[in-house]
């Protein structure tokens, strides 16, 4: 009988399946013979055999390959399997206290023991810079270094001296003399004291940039919101990815973060299934700018600022069968060039302002188009003037069909579906709207 750990690894290891599908499709298109007997061949990363067992390294307090309960132990395990081409890092039950991100790499799988495996962020520390640092420098001088340690992940923030725009950089402290700290990478931005630059020990718990084929399963991430400075979803979250592809997250809890729960920016074919993102300051799930083909299915998104926020240019995504409840602003928000997405069969309950928001954006050509919202249940949205589905700006060419939009608290001044005065032609078909003062409010000029 095979070890059940081996079976679990095979079932959830998707890289081979995706790569093989692409190769076989190409072969059919140009009449090359399909790969019938895959072999490991030097330099051929497109297709491999479906290995029955892959490298697994355990991390924990006792009886583990790597003993420890902090980010250094976790990073050591990731680095070890990376050196050998990838594998699984199995994190045993317990609470792991992080002073820096765990930086993930391609072909790595992180698996915990469900809610019994907790990665928790240590309280953050914040100070200002005591001396100027130029864009080519790789060191900073802290006004108050108390509490900062070598190995800490930090976020530096400053306003550009010429434009006034905010600049944000994430770095690691790698060496120290008194209050001078060397960084792992140069600044590439001026940090001048005249602009009051700050440094805080904030960071995403799990992160990767320019990596592919990563899986995270059955683990809880706690951002320790009450004891940490704010970091928005363009730079952080309990989980944060940038410029990655084929990321799979299943059975993940992302909670209590002073920012987003799970955020991915310019990442493609991201799968988020059976996850629980709750009690985060900002967004439960943040499919970020330019992200193509996200799959968001069967998640619980509770008590965040917004449940699902489609950022800029998110396309060809599917969000279905999610339970989106008690989010303070909106259940689902969609806008800037978010096109051709399918949002269906979701429960959007008790949103603070509106259940579903089509954002106004900058005008023609910038709003969401070609999206289908169907068979969703939007219940008890907003205060007395709340809106179930709010279509703002010049939004057009979307289909809103067979949704149940319901108000159970009394009609007050509430609106079921509101079409803004500038909104274009959107198809509304067979929606059930009940309990509102105004079931359908069309503000467009005749």
pLDDT at 108 over 80: yes
Calpha distance 446→437 (Å, rounded): 22
Query: Model confidence at 161, in pLDDT bands (50, 70, 90)?
Result: confident
**DSSP label at 26?**
H
Q: How many helices (H) does the chain have, and how many strands (E)?
A: 3, 38
Identify the band that residue 266 occupies on the pLDDT scale cut at 50, 70 and 90: very high
Which pair of structure tokens corresponds to residue 121? Answer: 């962020």
Q: Contact, 141 vs 180, CB < 8 A?
A: yes
Q: Which of 69-83, 148-162, 305-319 has the lowest mean pLDDT?
A: 148-162
Residue 47: its pLDDT value, please? 86
Calpha distance 300→285 (Å, rounded): 10
In tens, the pLDDT along 361-418 reads: 999 999 999 999 999 999 999 999 999 999 999 999 999 999 999 999 999 999 999 9
Amino acid 86: pLDDT: 95
Asked if pLDDT for residue 23 goes beyond 70, the answer is no
In the predicted structure, residue 8 carries a pLDDT above the cut 90: no
* pLDDT at residue 12, as a whole number: 52
246 pLDDT more than 90: yes
pLDDT above 70 as % of the chain: 93
Q: What's the pLDDT at 445?
A: 79
Angle at 403 between CA 381 and CA 409, to 5 degrees: 30
| Cβ atoms of residues 297 and 318 within 8 Å | yes
For residue 415, the SS3 value is strand
User: pTM of the full predicted structure?
Assistant: 0.91
Q: What is the mean pLDDT of the chain?
A: 93
Tell me the CA distances in angstroms from 37 to 15, 20, 26, 47, 390, one per residue in order: 17, 11, 17, 10, 54
Q: What is each CA distance from 261 to 176, 221, 243, in whole angstroms? A: 32, 9, 18
Average pLDDT over residues 199-218: 98
Position 24 pLDDT exceeds 60: no
What is the share, in percent, of the chain residues with pLDDT greater than 90? 88
What distance lies between CA 39 and its chain's CA centroid? 35
- Residue 165 binned pLDDT confidence (cut-offs 50, 70, 90): confident
Compute the Cα dihedral for 73, 248, 282, 103 and give only its sign: positive
Whether 10 shows a pLDDT value over 80: the answer reads no
Lowest mean pLDDT among 42-51, 166-175, 218-227: 42-51
Residue 156, pLDDT score: 97
Question: What pLDDT does residue 48 have?
Answer: 85
What mean pLDDT is predicted for residues 425-445?
A: 96
Task: Enumerate the H helices of 84-184 as residue ranges.
Answer: none
Is the pLDDT at 9 greater than 60? The verdict is no
Predicted local distance difference test score (pLDDT) of residue 28: 53
Residue 153 tokens, joined: 């992940």
CB within 8 A of 143, min separation 6: which ones?
A: 127, 128, 129, 130, 179
Catalogue all structural domains in the chain, each as residue range(s) with its CATH number: 1-54 (no CATH), 56-121+203-442 (2.160.20.10), 126-200 (2.40.30)
């Amino acid at each position: 009988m095979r070890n059940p750990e081996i079976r679990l690894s095979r079932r959830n290891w998707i890289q081979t399946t995706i790569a093989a599908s692409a190769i076989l499709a190409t072969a059919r298109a140009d009449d090359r013979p399909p790969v019938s007997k895959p072999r490991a061949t030097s330099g051929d990363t497109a297709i491999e055999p479906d290995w029955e067992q892959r490298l697994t390294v355990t991390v924990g307090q006792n009886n583990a390959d790597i003993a420890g309960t902090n980010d250094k132990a976790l990073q050591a395990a990731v680095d070890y399997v990376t050196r050998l081409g990838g594998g699984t890092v199995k994190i045993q039950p317990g609470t792991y206290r992080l002073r820096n991100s765990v930086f993930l790499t391609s072909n790595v799988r992180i698996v915990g023991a469900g809610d019994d495996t907790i990665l928790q962020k240590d309280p953050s520390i914040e100070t200002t810079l005591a001396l100027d640092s130029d864009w080519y420098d790789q060191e900073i001088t802290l006004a108050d270094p108390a509490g900062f340690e070598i190995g800490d992940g930090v976020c530096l923030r400053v306003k550009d001296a010429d434009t006034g725009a905010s600049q944000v950089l994430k770095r690691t402290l790698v060496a120290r003399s008194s209050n001078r700290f060397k960084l792992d990478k140069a600044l590439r931005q001026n940090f001048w004291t005249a602009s009051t630059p700050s440094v805080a020990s904030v960071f995403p718990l799990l992160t990767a940039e320019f990596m592919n084929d990563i899986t995270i399963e059955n683990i809880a991430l706690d951002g320790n919101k009450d004891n940490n400075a704010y970091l928005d979803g363009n730079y952080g979250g309990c989980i944060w990815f940038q410029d990655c592809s084929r990321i799979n997250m299943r059975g993940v809890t992302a909670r209590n973060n002073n920012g987003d729960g799970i955020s991915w920016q310019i990442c493609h074919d991201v799968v988020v299934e059976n996850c629980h993102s709750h009690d985060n300051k900002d967004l439960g799930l943040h499919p970020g700018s330019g992200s193509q083909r996200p799959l968001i299915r069967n998640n619980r998104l509770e008590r965040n600022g917004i449940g699902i926020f489609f950022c800029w240019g998110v396309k060809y995504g599917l969000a279905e069968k999610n339970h989106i409840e008690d989010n303070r602003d909106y259940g689902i928000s969609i806008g800037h060039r978010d096109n051709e997405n399918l949002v269906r069969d979701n429960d959007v309950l008790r949103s603070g302002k509106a259940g579903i928001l089509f954002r106004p954006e900058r005008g023609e050509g910038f709003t969401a188009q070609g999206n289908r919202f169907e068979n969703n249940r939007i219940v008890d949205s907003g205060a007395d003037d709340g809106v179930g589905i709010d279509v703002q700006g010049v939004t057009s060419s979307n289909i809103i069909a067979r949704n149940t939009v319901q108000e159970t608290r009394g009609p007050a001044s509430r609106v079921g579906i509101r079409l803004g005065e500038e909104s274009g032609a959107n198809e509304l078909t067979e929606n059930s709207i009940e309990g509102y003062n105004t079931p359908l409010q069309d503000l467009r000029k005749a």
